[in-house]
Amino acid sequence: MHVFLIAALSADGFIAKTVDQISTRWTSKEDAAFFAQKTKEAGVVVMGRTTFETIGRPLPDRKTFVYTTRELLGFPPELVEATQLPPAELLAKLEAEGYTQVAICGGSQVYTKWMQSGLIDKIYLTIEPVFFGTGIRLFTEEITNTIRLKERHLLSDQTTVLEYEVLR
Ligand SMILES: NC(=O)c1ccc[n+]([C@@H]2O[C@H](COP(=O)([O-])OP(=O)(O)OC[C@H]3O[C@@H](n4cnc5c(N)ncnc54)[C@H](OP(=O)(O)O)[C@@H]3O)[C@@H](O)[C@H]2O)c1
């Protein structure tokens, strides 16, 4: 199972200025297209309830697993499913459902939990030309994984995606 983390970062290293801020408010249309392409290839995305609320609806053509301790009401179960499963157990479930890759889409809590699980094999970080000064970091706790830059994707003259392999 190919498990990748995908995130957009401000040039000073934040994924958002505030918890209620949807990323597409400050990211580029090129990044939106890159995100759509990668996550549609996967067919399934995983995100936290806070991130899901910033989007407010299921992403088209992808199944969304939402980490939450609450009930998710009003969404078709074939499009949106609540979960509390540890990463390895959710992966086993997705494999059993026939998925071969999964996109870990944040936010900070979910990125941290999955990175610490050791199950992520690739990371895509889009760097956008904005500064926040303060805000939400990619991770909330210590991360010890070793990564290696594999490729740089120039989405435009302003926006670059750094593609990393996770070595362990
Ligand atoms: N720039 C980017 O690429 C990007 C990508 C994604 C998100 N973001 C930003 O990140 C921010 C949100 O990040 P965040 O870290 O605050 O929140 P988050 O990771 O999106 O969601 C946190 C919530 O997920 C649920 N959760 C987490 N772990 C769980 C577990 N083990 N079991 C059950 N539920 C669990 C809890 O929901 P309940 O309270 O419902 O239990 C928790 O409050 C937003 O501003 C968003 O826009 C940015």
| pLDDT tens figures, 61-71 | 999 999 999 99
Work out which ligand 1 atom sits closest to the CA atom of 7.
3
Which pLDDT score, from 0 to 100, does residue 168 have? 72
DSSP 24: G
> Is residue 59's pLDDT more than 80?
yes
From the CA of 106, how far away is ligand 1's center (Å)? 6
Q: If we measure between CA atoms, which residue out of 118, 120, 106 comes closest to residue 59?
A: 106
List all residues whose CB is within 6 A of at least one atom of ligand 1.
Answer: 7-8, 15-16, 19, 21-23, 47-51, 54, 67-70, 84, 105-110, 113, 136
Evaluated on CA atoms 97, 87, 12, 18, the torsion sign reads: positive
Task: Kindly state the average pLDDT of the residues 25-47.
Answer: 98
30 close to 161: Cβ distance less than 8 angstroms: no
Q: Domains in the chain and their CATH numbers?
A: 2-161 (3.40.430.10)
Residue 50 has pLDDT above 90, yes or no: yes
Distance from the alpha carbon of residue 148 to the mean position of ligand 1, in angstroms: 26
Q: Give residue-wise pLDDT tens across range 71-123.
A: 999 999 999 999 999 999 999 999 999 999 999 999 999 999 999 999 999 99
Of 126, 163, 167, 125, nearest in space to 145 by CA: 167
pLDDT, averaged across the chain: 97
The predicted model scores a pTM of 0.98
**Mean pLDDT, rounded, for 36-60:** 96
Q: Residue 39 C-alpha to ligand 1 middle, in angstroms?
A: 18
d(CA 71, CA 53): 13
Going from the Cα of 16 to the center of ligand 1, the distance in angstroms, rounded, reads 12
Whole-number CA gyration radius for the chain: 15
Distance CA 102, CA 104 (A): 7
Helix segments in the chain, DSSP class H:
29-42, 49-55, 87-96, 108-117
